[in-house]
Structure 1
Amino acid sequence: MNAATNQRFESLDAIRGVAVMGILAMNIVAFALPFPAYSNPAAGGPPGGADLAAWFFNFLFVDSKMRGLFSMLFGASTLLVIERAEAAGRSPLRAHYARMLWLALFGLAHYYFIWFGDILFLYAVCGLLLFPFRRLSARALAWWAAGFFLVGAALFLALWASLLAAQAGALPVDAGAGASTALRQIETAMGANSPDYAKELARYLGSYGAIVTHRITETAGKPVEGLIVMLWETMGLMLAGMALLKSRMLTGQWPAARYLKWAIAGFLLAAPPLAGLAVYQAKAGFSGVAVFGSAAALSLPFDIMMTFGWAALILWLIRITVSDAVRARLAAAGRMAFTNYLTTSIVMTTIFYGYGLGLFGSVGRAPLYLFCFGMWAAMLLWSKPWLDRFHYGPLEWLWRSLSRASPQPMRRRPPAQ
């Protein structure tokens, strides 16, 4: 497929709209509760039934899958931008690297001054590595993606195995010290009744200045640490997105029956093992090792399968059941994904952090999804009217203008009378 065209693929924009909404469903716990609770429902103490059910649903269908979907779409969109720059006679190399460098700066600003859960810096650095892959076939891209997935899975599995060995006291003295330290860190950060829970509760109910100071001093290196941990999986997902774009899957050009087959296969292959991993964590008392092994190592192949299933299901629904009006709303939210993503961080931190409404730690896991519904409604309500008047979302316009080193036309001309 040659994507070098001025045509917009509404299905691609619409699935991106679903993905940016899904990212909030994944992140809402990290916005509203201490981070140990993100993966572990028992981090702050024994969970209630509703919160446990919400965690189970999130682990099964949302966590990692929505980030995976967003990452695949980033890879696909990056390829489109490169090819469109080339078709327009602009330097594709300059266009691509300027966009990624500015995105990295946006990501760092997001991390240090708004919210610690930034993914933009990770995406920008991975994006810098995508350019040499742009001319590969869909098949070659799929093989490269599989290679990145395998390396990432092997690294996580090796770490989990060393944690299990350290937990069992089965490592030699000279090899056990580092693993024992990692075990303590994992139990502190991800275990039941995490000692970090109360510390984070106090921190994020504090002042804005104290939160920012903590990030630029004690956790200044977290964006780079996150990059080291997540690079392999993220690169695999982005390359998979490029492959799916070239195969016309993400542009909505497959037969509806093929999307449905992919969706059914993705969910049927992934859901039972993921449910088994959820049960394993509960039976292990939500220990840090069990949570880490399940969420980071063992779930990876099934998360990827379900991510493909979600992509196919959304595209099938867009083709078969979604009205033109709903599709247009989703596509507008997707075209403004950058603005909607950062706006969500500002809104949610203002609601939950101490310098805003101060609700951090006081809302249970299950009721948090009410905040998701409200933000989703806002995205769907405001994105299309904005784009009816302007060519880009506010931050999309700023990103494009900075990347091209000149202000881009913003306001749409009214139709001739």
Structure 2
Amino acid sequence: MTSAKPALPRHIELDALRGFAVMGILLMNIIGFALLEMAYVNPAVYGMSNNADTISWFLSFVLVDGKMRGLFTLLFGASMMLIIARAEAKGENAAKVHFTRMGWLALFGLAHFFLVWFGDILFLYAVIGCLAWFVADWDSDELIRKALLIYAMGFIAYLLFMGGMFYLEYLAEMAGPGSESDADYRDMLSEIAPGAAVTAEEIAKYQGSYFQILTDKLTNKWDGPLILLVMNGLETLPLMMLGMAFYKNGFMTGQWDAARYRSFGLRLVGWGLLLMLPLAWLVWASGFDPLIAINASLAWSIPSRMLLTLGFAALLILLIQKLAHHSILQRIAAAGRVAFTNYLGTSILMTFIFYGWGLGLFGQFGRAELYLFVLGTWIVMLLWSQPWLSHFRYGPLEWLWRSLARGQMQKMRVE
């Protein structure tokens, strides 16, 4: 019997990046918590009443939407490699550890979707994480090459799928009012740009009882996790693979020199903004035309999302290394160590604030005002995470996940 290898150290870069990601993802998710679902991709649907709302949409569209989720996905891939390495260092069956963790994560994700909030990404990560296992032994260069190929394939598929909306619009114009094509086009528009009646119905639903919201999910949105898997799989898998590759080549753990991080980050952010800013202008100049807005948000921005995600990661690692001993950075890293609890806890807190079973504030605020709730939640994350970890090894949900995945209660208190 071989002796176990020494335990691998923690990386402040991974912890703090995860903290930035779990805080940053709320900047995007707050729209889904507090406004109509389609306000994610078409700001004109709801919550745009003044210049502050327009500016907040612009900044979110350019800098946040898809990028914080992308950062989270990179970190998931990197953490997957770290957990596999730790399992092997302890002489454990790495495959069993990984797939058991993914199985429980999938169940957490389904519970999150049905019982708390429709915007779950955990089920998606669990399924894609299972697929990612089969490429975990590839070297970093191969992971990067194949990830970029899959990402490009996903981009093309999204262009064709979303571009079909313009073709349907063309067919409706050619066939004229009253035609079958016109009816199909109007049905599509009612989905992506709901009218006043549909808007009022959705607001009433989320301001209603918990049972009303749950029943709607079980009857009308039961396939939501599967739809997200189909729609986002070809973006999530390559980003996860890049996280795995950048763990292997030292990027995610701070092993590159500062000049390389700076050059990499500035170049990618620069190129990303060159692609993203014209898209934002196009959406605004079109008067937030629903077809242009949804295509820009979901399809046309795919290349710039990757560039900005990777560029932000590099620049954040530079910042983390520079401020590694600062008290605020230490609190952000602590928030990252309990990111699972912070992520699910945020969903519970936000749905309590906005849904009818809680304070019932759904649909009551503009986009700009919602960021006050984000700021308040960030403060909560930073205040509780570090003191908790001074007494306990894991966050509450991290402990539960780890105990379930390993089939035994884990030690919780710091000795």
Q: TM-score, normalised by structure 1?
A: 0.93
C-alpha distance in 1, partners of 2:342/2:245? Answer: 26
2:171 aligned with 1:169, yes or no?
yes
After superposition, the C-alpha distances for 1:203-259 in whole angstroms (9 at most, x for unaligned) are: 100000100111111111111111111101000110010111111111012111222
- Segments of structure 2 that go 5 or more residues without pairing to the other structure are none
RMSD after superposition? 2.1
Alignment check: 8 A CA contact 1:165 1:171 kept: no
Q: Residue 348 of structure 1: SS of its match in structure 2?
A: helix
Alignment check: 8 A CA contact 2:22 2:72 kept: yes
Alignment check: 8 A CA contact 1:4 1:80 kept: no
Q: Which residue of 2 aligns with 1:313?
A: 315
Moved more, 257-266 or 308-317: 257-266
Shift of 1:263: 2.0
Q: Residue 250 of structure 2: SS of its match in structure 1?
A: coil
Check 1:87–1:183 CA distance in 2 against 1; reply closer, same or farther (3 A cut).
Answer: farther
Shift of 1:185: 5.2
List structure 1 runs of 4+ shifted beyond 4 angstroms: 170-173, 177-186, 192-195
Check 1:122–1:181 CA distance in 2 against 1; reply closer, same or farther (3 A cut).
Answer: farther
Q: Residue 366 of structure 1: SS of its match in structure 2?
A: helix
Check 1:35–1:155 CA distance in 2 against 1; reply closer, same or farther (3 A cut).
Answer: same
Shift of 1:194: 6.9
C-alpha distance in 2, partners of 1:87/1:151? Answer: 36
Q: Which residue of 1 aligns with 2:409?
A: 407
Shift of 1:285: 2.6
2:257 aligned with 1:255, yes or no?
yes
C-alpha distance in 1, partners of 2:395/2:194? Answer: 42
Alignment check: 8 A CA contact 1:41 1:47 kept: no
Q: Which residue of 2 aligns with 1:338?
A: 340
Of the three residues 108, 124, 140, the one matched with 1:106 is: 108
Check 1:395–1:178 CA distance in 2 against 1; reply closer, same or farther (3 A cut).
Answer: farther
Counterpart mapping for 1:3-402 below 5 A: 5-44=7-46, 47-169=49-171, 183-184=185-186, 186-191=188-193, 196-321=198-323, 323-402=325-404
Shift of 1:360: 0.7
C-alpha distance in 2, partners of 1:115/1:170? Answer: 36
After superposition, the C-alpha distances for 1:35-59 in whole angstroms (9 at most, x for unaligned) are: 1212222103863211011000000
Q: Residue 42 of structure 1: SS of its match in structure 2?
A: helix
C-alpha distance in 2, partners of 1:42/1:212? Answer: 27
C-alpha distance in 2, partners of 1:152/1:243? Answer: 19
Alignment check: 8 A CA contact 2:171 2:181 kept: no
C-alpha distance in 1, partners of 2:180/2:123? Answer: 29
Moved more, 282-291 or 120-129: 282-291
Check 1:140–1:170 CA distance in 2 against 1; reply closer, same or farther (3 A cut).
Answer: farther
C-alpha distance in 1, partners of 2:44/2:257? Answer: 44
After superposition, the C-alpha distances for 1:143-164 in whole angstroms (9 at most, x for unaligned) are: 1211221121111100132221
Moved more, 267-276 or 219-228: 267-276
Alignment check: 8 A CA contact 2:172 2:182 kept: no
C-alpha distance in 1, partners of 2:108/2:180? Answer: 35
Aligned length: 408
Shift of 1:271: 1.1
C-alpha distance in 2, partners of 1:378/1:345? Answer: 13
Alignment check: 8 A CA contact 2:35 2:46 kept: no
Shift of 1:282: 2.1
C-alpha distance in 2, partners of 1:38/1:140? Answer: 34
After superposition, the C-alpha distances for 1:50-73 in whole angstroms (9 at most, x for unaligned) are: 101100000000000000000110
